[in-house]
């Protein structure tokens, strides 16, 4: 008899021991396939130094009492591997393909650690899976396109790994998705359309995604959208106009173009990050902006600054092409301490009504340098703003012309 045959006989013998114990105690008997799958999963994973998560995994006892194993009758329905407490060292090793044998599994997670290798294709056999979270490990390779077979999946979190390749279009077709978190990987290609009408969060930041977003590619149910630190292009005004449930939006550090829709500023957003793109045109919010932080810096925005921004707490409009006077209502809110950050440097502004003797609150920051005026007050600016106080006259004359 070969080595593999002997291992299977030992595993089956262990199962018989547990079966006898369960019968003696009149408790539910774990399904044999689940028992053998847990054994295979255990063999491929190990505690990192300082972790004792697997100490309770003694296969001569009932696996439903193991740490991280949750059963319903005779089936494993949830598998949460690793000590979830903050600072736990986590686990190392690979995810065994036997995970696909836990056919009743609805939840599968692994705490941050040093899990490596690719995501097993067999995960796509888990038709009951609703929650899949393996973040902050070293998972590599492509995201299996067969994950699109998990029609009950609600949360997909594979963030902070080393995944490559494209986001499979099949994932975008999953009808029950509420959270997709794939940030901090090395994913390439375009953002697929997401058809789920209950999608709340989409986080794809810090990848290498390219291409543009179609106006109907994301559902209006979205409340949090983060696509920053990619190489995405094209206009997004029609797309954004549809996403009126957004409470968080970060499209920074891309190459998006075109206008920013005025109605975006009336959405229930608390933090708006659109900096370092190629957005252009004027900004005309219809009503007073109640977003606490608005960052539109490092774009190609032009026209006059709207007084509707006077209620924003942290306002970054620097490094654009704004012209004209700074609205008096914005100055009033700055001097009263309601505006904490007002960055207007590196524009083409021609005036601001503020007395040289005006005292700006200690809690507030104002930067005006490198505009088409001499700043009436001297205030500390960020180091990156440079040393020049005023934009050269020739640039200002050319811009007016």
Which whole number is the average pLDDT over 17-39? 70
**Residue 26: which pLDDT band, with cuts at 50, 70 and 90?**
very low
Q: What is the pLDDT of residue 335?
A: 95
Name the residue with higher pLDDT: 7 or 47: 47
pLDDT, tens only, 243-276: 999 999 999 999 999 999 999 999 999 999 999 9
Q: Is pLDDT above 70 for 4?
A: no
Which token pair is 6? 């002997």
pLDDT, tens only, 275-333: 999 999 999 999 999 999 999 999 999 999 999 999 999 999 999 999 999 999 999 99
Which whole number is the average pLDDT over 171-195? 98
pLDDT, tens only, 87-142: 889 999 999 999 999 999 999 999 999 999 999 999 999 999 999 999 999 999 99
Which token pair is 241? 């106009």
Strands (E), 68-212: 69-72, 75-81, 91-93, 107-110, 114-117, 131-134, 138-142, 155-157, 162-164, 179-181, 201-203, 210-211
Cα distance between residue 364 and residue 347, in whole Å: 20
Q: What is the pLDDT of residue 23?
A: 43
Report the range of poorest mean pLDDT among 23-37, 231-245, 378-392.
23-37
Q: Is pLDDT above 90 for 384?
A: no
Question: By the 8 A CB rule, do 169 and 149 touch?
Answer: no
Report the range of poorest mean pLDDT among 258-272, 363-377, 378-392.
378-392
**Residue 25: which pLDDT band, with cuts at 50, 70 and 90?**
very low
Q: What is the pLDDT of residue 10?
A: 46
**Mean pLDDT rounded to a whole number for the chain:** 93
Q: Is the pTM of this model over 0.85?
A: yes
Q: CA 156 → CA 61, 76, 178, 179, 222, distances in Å?
A: 32, 20, 9, 6, 15
Query: How many CB atoms neighbour CB 95 within 10 A?
Result: 23
């Amino acid at each position: 008899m070969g080595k593999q045959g002997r291992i299977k006989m030992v595993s089956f013998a262990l199962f018989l021991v547990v079966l006898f114990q369960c019968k003696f105690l009149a408790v539910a008997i774990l399904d044999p396939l689940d028992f053998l799958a847990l054994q295979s999963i255990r063999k491929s994973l190990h505690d990192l130094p300082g972790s004792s998560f697997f100490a309770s995994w003694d296969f001569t006892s009932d696996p439903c009492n193991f740490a991280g194993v949750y059963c319903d009758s005779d089936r494993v329905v949830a598998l949460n591997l690793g000590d979830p407490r903050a600072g736990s060292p986590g686990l190392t090793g690979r995810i065994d393909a036997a995970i696909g044998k836990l056919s009743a599994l609805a939840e599968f997670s692994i705490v941050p650690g040093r899990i490596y290798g690719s995501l097993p294709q067999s995960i796509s056999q888990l038709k009951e899976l609703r929650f899949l979270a393996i973040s902050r490990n070293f998972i590599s390779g492509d995201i299996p396109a067969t994950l699109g077979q998990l029609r009950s999946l609600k949360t997909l979190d594979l963030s902070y790994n080393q995944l490559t390749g494209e986001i499979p279009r099949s994932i975008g077709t999953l009808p029950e998705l509420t959270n997709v978190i794939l940030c901090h990987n090395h994913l390439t290609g375009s953002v697929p359309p997401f058809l789920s009408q209950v999608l709340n969060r989409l986080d794809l930041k810090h990848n290498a995604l390219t291409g543009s977003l179609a106006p109907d590619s994301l559902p209006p149910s979205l409340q949090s959208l983060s696509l920053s630190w990619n190489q995405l292009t094209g206009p997004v005004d029609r797309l954004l106009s549809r996403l009126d449930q957004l409470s968080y939006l970060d499209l920074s550090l891309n190459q998006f173009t075109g206008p920013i829709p005025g109605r975006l500023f009336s959405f229930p957003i608390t933090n708006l990050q659109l900096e370092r793109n190629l957005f252009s045109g004027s900004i005309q919010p219809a009503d007073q902006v109640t977003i606490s932080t608005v960052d539109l810096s490092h774009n190609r925005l032009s026209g006059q600054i709207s007084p509707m921004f006077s209620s924003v707490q942290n306002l970054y409009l620097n490094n654009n092409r704004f012209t004209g006077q700074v609205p008096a209502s914005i100055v009033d809110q700055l001097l009263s301490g309601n505006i904490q950050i007002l960055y207007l440097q590196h524009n083409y502004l021609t005036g601001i009504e503020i007395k040289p003797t005006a005292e700006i609150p200690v809690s507030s920051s104002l930067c005006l340098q490198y505009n088409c005026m001499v700043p009436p007050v001297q205030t500390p600016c960020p180091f990156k703003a440079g040393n020049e106080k005023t934009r050269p006259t020739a640039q200002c004359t050319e811009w007016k012309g």
